[in-house]
Homo-oligomer: A and B are copies of this chain.
Amino acid sequence: MSLEVPPGDSRERFVCATCNIIHYQNPRIVAGCLPIWEDRVMLCRRAIQPRKNTWTLPAGFLENNETCFAGAARETWEEARARVANPHLYTVFSLPHISQVYLFYRAQLVDGSFAVGEETLEVALFAEHEIPWDELAFPVVGKTLRHYFADRRERHFPVRTEDIIVTKPNVQGAIEDCAAEPPVPP
């Protein structure tokens, strides 16, 4: 496998020297749910790294041949043995430094039942004043929860989008270029 710019392309790609197939690498979608039951939301305490022991919304990598909500519902089942319905796309985050796009859906728990699933230590429902704000796994989780409780007071839930820009040293020690803004044409 070699790294080269294929004909007609402008970026380096992994190309198999034997079969000449180009192995593109593109951003991945993380699909998740904000599961709601009456006035509370469901969170899962992570059993795995990264951020083991912290609380998160159920979410994970979208698989081929899934719709975004099907992936979010599958992750909610896998991590919390909970069924969700009546989904509404709610938050969309670009995380260019890790080439991920998060899509969270507001959704209702179907019957209020849940249980500890794969990768989870504990599952619980939280009212707004019970949210463990200092023990949340990822910024996208806190941002989604804050929008939700604020929007609930207004009874209006527009889709929220945000770019989360992190500049970090790469393995060579240089700052990675995260294209938050479109390239400025000449």
Contacts and interface: CB of A to CB of B under 8 A. Distances in A.
B89 A26 contact: no
Given A70-B182, A74-B183, A92-B68, A27 B25 contact: no
A178 B84 contact: no
Contacts of A27: 29, 62-64, 66
A17 interface: no
B64 A176 contact: no
A65 B178 contact: yes
Nearest to A164: B67
Interface of A: 11, 23-29, 61-70, 72-74, 77, 81, 83-84, 89, 92, 94, 96-97, 99, 101, 103, 158-159, 161, 163, 165, 176-183, 185
14 contacts: A11-B63, A24-B28, A27-B29, A66-B94, A67-B163, A69-B163, A69-B182, A70-B96, A70-B179, A70-B181, A70-B183, A74-B183, A77-B182, A92-B92
Contact of A101 (B68, B161, B176): B68
A64 to B, nearest CB: 4
Contacts of A99: 64-65
A176 B83 CA distance: 24
A15 to B, nearest CB: 14
Given A25-B64, A89-B92, 15 more contacts: A11-B63, A26-B63, A27-B29, A27-B64, A65-B96, A67-B180, A70-B96, A70-B179, A70-B180, A73-B183, A77-B183, A89-B159, A89-B161, A92-B92, A159-B159
A68 B92 CA distance: 10
A65 B183 contact: no
